[in-house]
Homo-oligomer: A and B are copies of this chain.
Amino acid sequence: MSYSEISGGVTAARGFLAGSAYCGIKASNPDRPDIALIYSLQSAVGAGTFTTNRVKAAPVRVSMMTARSADVRAIIANAGNANACTGVRGIENAKRMVAATAGTLGVKDRQVFVCSTGRIGVQLPIEKIEKTISSLPAVCSESGSNAAAFAIMTSDTKPKEIAVEFEIDGTLIRIGGIAKGAGMIDPNMATMLCFITTDAVIEKKLLQRALSVSVEQSFNRITVDGDMSTNDTVLMLANGAAGTKPLRYNSPAFKLFQRALDHVTRHLARMIVEDGEGVTKFVEVHVHGAASLTDARRAAEAVANSNLVKCAWFGNDPNWGRIMDAVGYSGAKMREELIDIYYDGVLGVKGGMASKTPFAKLQEIVSAQRFSITINLHVGSAEYTVYTTDLSVDYVKLNMGE
C-alpha cells in the first residue's frame, strides 16, 4: 500500500473550500492578494504546532487556544503584516479577524484558526480586513488552493502546494496542503505557515500526534539562516468526509496515513528551503555515527548554520576545513582523527584529513544546485539530517532593507 501525488493542494480533500482576496496589506506588493480563507463544509477536528519563540505573535496566541477546541471549521490568514509585537490591541485584532470569519461562515469563534505573516510591530488595518473577510466565502471553491497559496506568500517567489491520495478499505483518502516560507527558516519551526487538510476519519488526539511527528521530521529539520520567527504555525484540519472507520493508532491504515502526511510535510519543507531568500543551492547535511541523537543534531545544525560553510558553498568551494571546524565547535562528542566526510557519497575527508579525492572532483559536486554532505563521526550509531542552503550575496541584499 502506498500513496500517490495528486493535484488540488489544500482543497484536494473532500469538503474543503479555499479562496483569497485583496485587502492592501502587503506594502511592497499592494496589488497582490493578501488574505486567504480555507474552510470545511462539515465539522472537522483540528491540530496545530506553533513557534517555540517566546515572542509570539497575537494570532499564534489566539490559535493556540483554538487548537484546544473539540471541533474547528476554518483558517483565516493574512500576509504583509505579522501582527506581532502589537500588544493588547494586536490580540483584539486577531480576535476580530476570527469573529469576522466566524460571522460570515455562521460558525463559532472557537472554530476559527487565525494566522498572520509579514512585518513585525505594525497594527493590522482591521476594518479593511473585516470588510474583505465578509466577501471571502463567495470566492472560495473546491479549486481555490492555488489562490490561497498565492495569498499567503511574502518574499516567496512561488506558491507551495501538494496533495496525495491513498486507499484505505477501498476508499480513497486525501491529504493536501499549502505553505509559505522564505527568510528566517530554522529548525524548531521556521517563519512559515502551513495549512493541511484531510478527509480522513481520525480523532483529534491522534491527528495532533501524527502532525507533531510529521513536523519533527520535516519543518523542524530545515534551516536557511538560523532565526526562528514569532509567527510560525502548522495547522491541520480533518473533516472525516471520506466516511471510513476511524483510524486506529498503529494500525496499518494509520501507518499509511502517517507516511502520506510525512510526504506532504517533507515536500512542503523542501519547497520552503529551495525558495529561501537568495538561495542558489539546496544541501542535505547528514550526520552519522554520533554518540547520541542530540550530538548528531548539534553537529548537523552547526554545519547547516555556519555562515562560512554556506558562503563557501555559494562560491562552489568544498572547503571541508570549515565543515570540520563547525563540527568541532558544535559540542558533539567527537575525535578529529575519526571523522569521514562525503560529498554526494564521494570521500572528501578520511580520518580528519584530506582524502585522495582530487579537489576538482569535490568542487564539481558542490557546483551543483543540489548535493549532500555526509559526516560520519564514528563514535556511535545516532544520526540526524538537516536540509539547508548556501548563503548568497542576494540573501544579504534581500534582507538589508525592509
Interface set of A (CB-CB < 8 Å, partner B)? 52-56, 82, 84-87, 119-122, 183-184, 186, 188, 225-230, 305-308, 311-312, 314-315, 317, 319-322, 324-329, 332, 334, 336-337, 349, 351-354, 391-393, 395-397, 399-402
Q: Given contacts A87-B352, A399-B311, is CB(A329)–CB(B391) below 8 Å?
A: no
**17 A-B residue contacts at CB 8 Å?**
A54-B332, A55-B352, A85-B324, A121-B321, A121-B349, A121-B354, A227-B306, A227-B322, A230-B321, A230-B325, A307-B399, A311-B399, A314-B396, A315-B399, A315-B400, A315-B401, A393-B396
For A311, give its contact among B84, B186, B228, B400 (CB under 8 Å).
Answer: B400
A311 CB, nearest partner CB in chain B, Å: 4
Chain B residues near A308 (CB-CB < 8 A): 183-184, 225, 227, 399
For A226, give its contact among B230, B306, B354 (CB under 8 Å).
Answer: B306
C-alpha gap A291/B334 in the complex (Å): 33
Contact across chains for B52 and A329 when beta carbons are under 8 A apart: yes
C-alpha gap A186/B315 in the complex (Å): 22
Chain B residues near A327 (CB-CB < 8 A): 54-55
Contact across chains for B321 and A119 when beta carbons are under 8 A apart: yes
C-alpha gap A29/B87 in the complex (Å): 55
Q: Which residue of B lies closest to A53 (CB)?
A: B328
A151 CB, nearest partner CB in chain B, Å: 22
C-alpha gap A56/B336 in the complex (Å): 8
Contact across chains for B396 and A353 when beta carbons are under 8 A apart: no
Contact across chains for B87 and A230 when beta carbons are under 8 A apart: no
Chain B residues near A314 (CB-CB < 8 A): 396, 400
- 18 A-B pairs besides A82-B321, A87-B353 with CB distance below 8 A are A53-B328, A54-B336, A56-B336, A85-B320, A85-B321, A85-B353, A87-B337, A119-B321, A121-B320, A121-B349, A225-B307, A226-B306, A229-B325, A308-B399, A315-B401, A319-B402, A392-B396, A393-B397
Q: Given contacts A120-B322, A402-B319, is CB(A336)–CB(B55) below 8 Å?
A: yes
Contact across chains for B393 and A55 when beta carbons are under 8 A apart: no
Contact across chains for A402 and B317 when beta carbons are under 8 A apart: yes
Contact across chains for B84 and A227 when beta carbons are under 8 A apart: no
Q: Which of A122, A319, A321 has the most chain B CB within a 10 Å cutoff?
A: A321
Q: Which of A53, A351, A396 has the most chain B CB within a 10 Å cutoff?
A: A396
Contact across chains for A307 and B87 when beta carbons are under 8 A apart: no
Contact across chains for B85 and A336 when beta carbons are under 8 A apart: yes
A89 CB, nearest partner CB in chain B, Å: 9
Q: Given contacts A85-B324, A306-B226, A336-B56, is CB(A391)–CB(B396) below 8 Å?
A: yes
Chain B residues near A319 (CB-CB < 8 A): 402
C-alpha gap A312/B332 in the complex (Å): 32
Chain B residues near A307 (CB-CB < 8 A): 225-227, 307, 391, 395, 399
Chain B residues near A55 (CB-CB < 8 A): 324-325, 327-329, 334, 336, 352
A82 CB, nearest partner CB in chain B, Å: 8
C-alpha gap A184/B308 in the complex (Å): 7
Q: Which residue of B lies closest to A186 (CB)?
A: B329
